[in-house]
Structure 1
Amino acid sequence: MSHSHRASTLTAVLALAPLISVSPVAAQEAAVGLDELTVEGAAATADGNGLGGGNGSATSGGGGGPSGVVGYTARISPTATKTNTPLIETPQSVTVITREQLNDRNVQTINEAIGYAAGVNSNVFGFDPRYDSFYVRGFDLTYNGIFRDGLRQLGSGLTLPRIEPYGVEAATILRGPSSGLYGLGSPGGILDVTTKRPTFTPFGEVQFQAGNYGRFQGNFDIGGPVEGSDGTLAYRVTGIKRQSDTFLPGSPDDRSYIAPAFTWKPSADTTFTFLSEYQESRLPGNAAFYNAPGFQITKIYSGDPALNDFKSQQYRIGYAFEHKFSPDLILRQNFRYYKNNTSYAYTSIDSLSDDGTSAIRSAGFLKQRLSQITLDNQIEARVDAGPVQHTLLAGLDYAHYDFSTRSGFGVAPELNLLRPRFITG
C-alpha cells in the first residue's frame, strides 16, 4: 500500500506595534507629593541591538548571528513579535527557556525542556521517545505548532522532525493564537526553537554522560572566529553520539547528531548565517503496553524485540540573512530545506486468548519520506509620527512539503504469556 501527498501554504503578515511617549502628568494639588517610579526595559537601540552590542547582542528577528537570548532569564525574544521588542513590553504570554536553564537541568528531550513552562503538558502520552509531542493550553502542537528558527516544522503521518536539545540555544513558548505572524497554527500557541549560532569569541566544550539501561553519550560544541577572515567569518560545530537501551525489552534509544554552522558578516549591516544538521536515530517501534478490555492496565509489553525498530534519518540545510539599509529599514530572509526518511517495524497485541495464556498479535512495516521547504521574508521599518513611534513589520512566508508512504500489515505468531520476558515490573 502506498500513498503520497503534497501541500503548500503561503502566508502574508503585516504587524503594527506603536510605541507612544507620554509626558509626565503635572501634580494637580500642591499638598500631595508622589514618589517617582522608573521602570526600565531592554529597549532596542537604533542599530537593532537590544542588549548593548557585542556577541550577546540581539539581531532583529533572529536573523543571523546570536539570537539575543542570553543569560539565565531572557529579557528579549524575537519569537514574540519578530522584532526586538523587550518581553516587558510584549502584550502576550511568553516563556523563554534559555541555554543556561537547559544546561543546569541537563535535559535529554524537548519535552523535558518545556516541562516546567506554565500551560504546557508534556507527558500526555507517557514514555514515548519517538516524537516531540505535547500540549499547550489544551491544544496539541505536534503537527501544527512547532517552529525551528521562526520557520514552520512540518510533519505528516509517523514522520516528524525531531529536535536534539543539545543543539538548541533557546526554546520559546508563545501562548495564544499567533496567525498574524506565523500563519496556520495551534490556538494554544507555538513552540519556536532557536538553533545554536556561531559567535566571534572562541569557545569549546566536551561532555560525557552515563545513565541507567546502559546509557552512554558524548557531546561536543566548539566554535569561534575563522583565522585569517579579519573577523568576518565565524563557525560552530555541535554534535552528540549516544548508545542506550530503555526499560522496554529490546528497545534502543540511540542517536548520532552533528550540526555545522557558519556566520559571514562582511559589514556591520549585513549578516548571513548558514545552518545545517544531520541526525540519525534508532528507537522502539512500539512503546505501548497492552490494555485489557474495559481499559484495564496490564504489565504486558505490546512490542517484540525481534521486530521493534523505528529508524529515522533527517537532514536540514538553510540560512538566516539580514541586511540593514539604514537603522530604520531592515530586510530579513530565512530559508530551510528539511528531509526525513523513516523506517517503522513493529508488532502489537490485539487481544488475549480465552484462557489468558497467549496473546493474539499483528505486525506492520512502514517506510515514509518527507521533504519540506520553508521560506520567510520580512521587512521592518521604524517611523516617527510626532510623539508616536511606530515599528512596522511586513512579510511573506511560503511552505511546501512532499510526503510518501509504503506500508504492509499481517498476522504475527501468538505470544506465550507464560514466558515472562515481555512482562515488566
Structure 2
Amino acid sequence: MTSATPSSERRVSARIGAISESATLAVDAKAKALKAAGRPVIGFGAGEPDFPTPDYIVEAAVEACRNPKYHRYTPAGGLPELKAAIAAKTLRDSGYEVDASQVLVTNGGKQAIYEAFAAILDPGDEVIVPAPYWTTYPESIRLAGGVPVEVVADETTGYRVSVEQLEAARTERTKVVLFVSPSNPTGSVYSEADAKAIGEWAAEHGLWVLTDEIYEHLVYGDAKFTSLPVLVPALRDKCIIVNGVAKTYAMTGWRVGWVIAPQDVIKAATNLQSHATSNVSNVAQVAALAAVSGNLDAVAEMRKAFDRRRQTMVKMLNEIDGVFCPTPEGAFYAYPSVKELIGKEIRGKRPQSSVELAALILDEVEVAVVPGEAFGTPGYLRLSYALGDEDLVEGVSRIQKLLAEAKA
C-alpha cells in the first residue's frame, strides 16, 4: 500500500492537480488538430456560434485600438460606461433593475462564475448542482472551497430537476443552488411556473441562487426565458447573475462576461479580480459596450439559423435505432441518450461507456462529439448545432451510418 505523496515532494498542488481538463475544449482541440492535419473531421464539440462578430462591434474595437485612453489601466471592475450599459441592457432584456455598482465585468463567463462562487463560499459549503451540468461549474465550486452536490435529471423530464429533488439534496451545509435555463449541455428551458417554484423554494430556505443567463436570447418555439429574481423578488438580496456577450453576439473569443450581485458581493469579487487579472482588455470592453448598447437584430438572425439546425439535428438523431433525443428548447445543443447502444458491437468493438462510443465515432467516421461523462451523466452525447448546415447534415449522416451497424 502506497502512501500519499508528501506536499514537499508534490510538483503540482493538490488543489490544482485535481482540476479536470475542460472536456469540451479538449474535444474541440483534437478535432481542430485533425483538421489541420488534413483529415475531414466535423466537430460538434465546441459551444461556439459559427457566425462572425457583427461589423459594428468590430469597428468599435478598431476605434478603441486607436484611442490612447484605452492603452492604459482602467478600473479593475470594468469601464464605468460598460457597467452602466450592462445595467441598462439587463433592465431592457429581462426587466431586472440593477445599479451599475452591482456589476463586475470579467474575462468571460468562466471568470464570472469562479469569482462569484469565491466571493460567497467558505470551505465545506455545499452547492446544489443540477446535472447534466456544464463542465466548469463543479470545478469552479471546488476551487472556491465549496462542495458540489449533484442532482440528476434525465430525458424523461426533459433534463429538468424538481423542487422535490432539490429539497432531498438540501442539508444544513447547503448555501447555494445553481440554476441554468436555457441549459448547456441539454438545451432545456424551465417553464415560468417551474422556475418560480424553484426560486420560492430557495428563498424560503434562505439559500443563495447563482443563475447563468448566458443563453437568454437563444430560445425556440413556445419556450420563454425568464430571469429568476424577476419572478421571485424575495431572492434579490441573495441572487447572483452571470452573463456575457459570447453567445448572443458571436463573441466567444473576445472574453467579456459579467457578474450582477448585491454590492457587498461585487466589492469582494472585484477585490479578487484586482489581484488576479486587473481590468479586462479595454478593446474587448469597448466592443462589448457596442454589443450591449445596440439592438438584437444580429442575434435574431442567428437564432433563426440555430432553430432550423436544431430541428434538423433532432430529427436525424431520433432516426437512429438506440438513440433518443428530446427536442432542446434553448441554447444550441442536443443531448441524446445513447444508453441502448452501450455494449453493442460496432465495427468489431463494444464500447462500454459513452466515452468509448465518442472515441469510436471519432476514429471510425471522423466526427467529434462530447461524451456525457463530461457533464456528470454517462450514457449521453452532446452535439452542438452551432455549425454550418452542410457540415451538420454530413456529420450526423456519418453517425447514422456508423450506428446503424450496431448489433447485439
TM, length-normalised to structure 1: 0.23
Larger RCO: 1 or 2 (CA < 8 Å, sep 6+): 2
Greater radius of gyration (CA): 1
Give the TM-score of the pair, scaled to structure 2. 0.23
More strand by proportion, 1 or 2? 1
